[in-house]
A = this chain, B = another copy of it.
Amino acid sequence: MEITVNRKAHFNAAHRLHNPQWSNTENQKVFGKCNNPNFHGHNYELVVSVTGPINEDTGYVIDMKELKSIIKEQVEEPFDHKNLNLDTEEFKNLNPTAENIAVVIWDKLRKFLAPALKLKITLYETPRNFVEYSGNES
């Protein structure tokens, strides 16, 4: 019997979509205004979903206070009020699309969860655009 618990968090960041192997014209054509060399930004809303059995003693899948603290340390502190392209190691050589940010967050959080738990990341870049990633473990 498995159940999923979800915790929301958020961070505000600047970014620019750009492929350094392409010409400026090609970047402009593919990424449009998201390619602005001076950056733009978003309020990223994050949902971290953890699936597993309910612990009979606590009634919890995982202690939400602990999950909140992992998210704060691994995602909010390194990414909040940052320029993803310039201020983080993860996106120095990786295009910070919503898809890639979700994969990076999944990889960062996965190692803090017990192997038996499943992890899913939902990341809202805007209220109208969001991505979901459940990892590559199946």
For chain A, the count of residues having a C-beta within 8 Å of the partner chain is 63
Could you tell me if B41 and A3 are in contact, using CB atoms closer than 8 angstroms? no
Partner of A97, one of B8, B59, B97, B131: B59
Residues of A contacting B: mostly: mixed
Could you tell me if B4 and A126 are in contact, using CB atoms closer than 8 angstroms? no
Interface residues of A in 32-85 (CB under 8 A from B): 32-34, 36, 38-43, 49, 54, 57-61, 63-65, 80-83
Complex-state Cα separation, A121 to B74, whole angstroms: 30
Could you tell me if B95 and A58 are in contact, using CB atoms closer than 8 angstroms? yes
Contacts of A86 in B (CB 8 A): 38
Could you tell me if B4 and A65 are in contact, using CB atoms closer than 8 angstroms? no
